[in-house]
C-alpha cells in the first residue's frame, strides 16, 4: 500500500512536471523585462486618420510632398534618370564604404557651391549616407569619438523630434537654446542670441540651414550674420542640418546661403544633407555627410575615420538613389528640369500658405495669420493650442500633431477652404 501511494505520488509529479517546466520557461523569457515603447506621435496620427470614415478627412501630419490632388509625386527628372540608368545595364556590386564618388562630389557642390574654396582646396570630405537621418547619426558617432570639446549638442527649441534620439543614442548630451517665440509664431532672435552667447566654448550647436522643422521659421540673412559672429566668438562647432535645399524657397542657392556664409566667415562646419524632400527620393534613402577641415591632409585623416565608423554599421550605402541623384545633378538637361520641378513644389507650398490665410480672412477670422505666410518650407507652426487641435480632429477630421504643426504638403486647392473653415471654428 505504501508503495502504491509512493507510485501515485511519483505519477502525479510526473504529470505536473512538464507544465511546471513550461511555466518556468515562460517566466524566464529573455525579454520579459522589455516594456512597451510609446507610439510614434506622427505614425499615431496616420493610424487615426486611416480609421476615420469622414470623406473630408485630412492628414497634415506626414512630412512627404503631395501634388495638388493629394497624391505622392515622382519628379519627371527622376523618371528620366532612372531610364538612363536602366539603359546602361550597370552592375549591382557593392559601393565603397564612403559611397558613390560621383554622388559625393555632386552632393558637396550642391551645398557649398561649385566655386567653393573649400572644394577647390580639397579641405573637405563628403561621404554618402542613408538619407538625412543616417547622416546625422554618422555625424553624432563621429563627434562622440573625436570631438575634443564638451559632448553637448545644443538644439534649437523646438527641433526635429528625431534629433534628440539620434544624438543621444550616439553618445552625445542634449541641451537647448531658445529659437521659436510662441507669442509671435516667429523667430526669438533676442532669446537665441542670448542663449548662444552663454554656450560653453567648443560645444556643438545644431542649426537648421533652411525650412526649420517643425516651425518653418528661419532667420533672415542679417540675423544669420549675427548668429555666425556670436558662434565664432564662443568658438562653437557648427553642425548644419540641410534637409530642404531648394524645397524651401525654390532657389537652391538662397536655401544654402547660411551654410556658405558660415564657411566664408571661417567656420569649419559639419553638414548633413538629404535628398528625400528636394528630389522626392524618400524611400531611396539618399544623403550625405560633410566635414570641412583645416587642410587637405586633415580631410584625408577624417575620411579614414568616417569609413571606420561606417563599416560596422552598414558597410556601405545603397546605390540606386545615389545613382539617380548624381545623374540628375551631373546631366545638364536633367539638372535644369529638376530646378524647375523643385521650384514648382516650393511654389505650390507657398501658394497653399497664401490661400489658407485668404480663406481664414473670408471665414471672418480676426486673428493675425501673417506667420503662416512668413514661415517657409513643408511645415507650418499654426499656433493652435492642443485643445484646439483636438477639436479640429474630432469635429472636422483634420489630423495633425498636438503642437499644432501642419504639413503644408497635405493642403490642396481642393481642401484648403475646408481647413480654413475648421481652423476658424476652433479659434474664434
As a whole number of Å, the CA-based R_g of the chain is 26
CB distance 418 to 352 below 8 Å: no
Gap between the Cα atoms of 75 and 138, Å rounded? 28
Cα dihedral 210→211→216→218 (10° resolution): 10
CB distance 88 to 94 below 8 Å: no
Which residues make beta-bridge pairs with 270?
239, 291
- Output b/e per residue, 332-348; b: 16+ Cβ within 10 A: eebbebbbebbbebbeb
Determine which helix (DSSP H) or strand (DSSP E) holds 141, and give its type and residue range: helix 131-146
Which H, E and C letters describe 347-378, residue by residue? HHHHHHHHHHHHHHHHHCCCCCCHHHHHCCCC
Please tell me whether residue 272 adopts helix, strand or coil conformation. Answer: strand
Gap between the Cα atoms of 8 and 20, Å rounded? 18
182's grid cell: 510662441
Neighbours of 97 (CB within 10 A): 18
CB distance 225 to 261 below 8 Å: yes
Catalytic sites, residue numbers = 160, 241, 277
CB distance 376 to 211 below 8 Å: yes
Gap between the Cα atoms of 186 and 188, Å rounded? 7
CB distance 287 to 272 below 8 Å: yes
Amino acid at each position: 500500500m505504501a508503495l502504491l501511494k509512493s507510485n501515485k505520488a511519483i505519477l502525479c509529479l510526473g504529470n505536473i512536471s512538464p507544465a511546471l517546466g513550461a511555466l518556468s520557461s515562460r517566466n524566464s523569457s529573455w525579454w520579459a523585462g522589455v516594456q512597451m515603447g510609446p507610439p510614434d506621435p506622427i505614425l499615431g496620427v496616420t493610424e487615426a486618420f486611416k480609421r476615420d470614415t469622414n470623406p473630408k478627412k485630412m492628414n497634415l501630419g506626414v512630412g512627404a510632398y503631395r501634388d495638388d490632388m493629394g497624391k505622392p509625386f515622382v519628379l519627371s527628372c527622376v523618371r528620366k534618370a532612372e531610364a538612363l540608368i536602366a539603359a546602361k545595364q550597370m552592375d549591382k556590386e557593392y559601393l565603397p564604404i564612403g559611397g558613390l564618388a560621383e554622388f559625393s562630389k555632386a552632393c558637396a557642390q550642391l551645398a557649398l557651391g561649385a566655386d567653393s574654396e573649400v572644394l577647390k582646396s580639397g579641405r573637405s570630405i563628403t561621404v554618402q549616407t542613408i538619407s538625412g537621418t543616417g547622416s546625422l547619426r554618422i555625424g553624432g558617432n563621429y563627434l562622440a569619438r573625436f570631438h575634443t570639446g564638451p559632448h553637448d549638442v545644443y538644439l534649437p527649441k523646438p527641433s526635429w523630434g528625431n534629433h534628440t534620439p539620434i544624438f543621444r543614442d550616439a553618445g552625445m548630451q542634449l541641451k537647448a537654446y531658445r529659437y521659436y517665440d510662441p507669442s509671435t509664431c516667429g523667430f526669438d532672435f533676442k532669446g537665441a542670441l542670448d542663449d548662444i552667447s552663454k554656450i560653453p566654448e567648443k560645444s556643438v550647436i545644431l542649426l537648421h540651414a533652411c525650412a526649420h522643422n517643425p516651425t518653418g521659421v528661419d532667420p533672415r540673412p542679417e540675423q544669420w550674420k549675427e548668429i555666425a559672429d556670436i558662434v565664432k566668438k564662443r568658438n562653437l562647432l557648427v553642425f548644419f542640418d540641410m534637409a530642404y535645399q531648394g524645397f524651401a524657397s525654390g532657389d537652391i542657392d538662397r536655401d544654402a546661403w547660411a551654410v556658405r556664409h558660415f564657411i566664408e566667415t571661417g567656420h569649419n562646419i559639419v553638414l548633413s544633407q538629404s535628398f528625400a524632400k528636394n528630389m522626392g527620393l524618400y524611400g531611396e534613402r539618399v544623403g550625405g555627410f560633410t566635414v570641412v577641415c583645416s587642410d587637405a591632409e586633415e580631410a584625408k585623416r577624417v575620411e579614414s575615420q568616417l569609413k571606420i565608423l561606417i563599416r560596422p554599421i552598414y558597410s556601405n550605402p545603397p546605390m540606386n538613389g545615389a545613382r539617380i541623384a548624381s545623374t540628375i545633378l551631373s546631366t545638364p538637361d536633367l539638372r535644369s528640369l529638376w530646378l524647375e520641378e523643385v521650384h514648382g513644389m516650393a511654389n505650390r507650398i507657398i501658394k497653399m500658405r497664401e490661400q489658407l490665410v485668404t480663406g481664414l480672412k473670408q471665414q471672418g477670422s480676426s486673428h493675425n495669420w501673417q506667420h503662416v505666410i512668413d514661415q517657409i518650407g513643408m511645415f507650418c507652426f499654426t499656433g493652435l493650442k492642443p485643445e484646439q487641435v483636438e477639436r479640429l480632429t474630432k469635429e472636422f477630421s483634420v489630423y495633425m500633431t498636438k503642437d499644432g504643426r501642419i504639413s503644408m504638403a497635405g493642403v490642396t486647392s481642393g481642401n484648403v477652404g475646408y481647413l480654413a473653415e475648421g481652423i476658424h471654428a476652433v479659434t474664434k
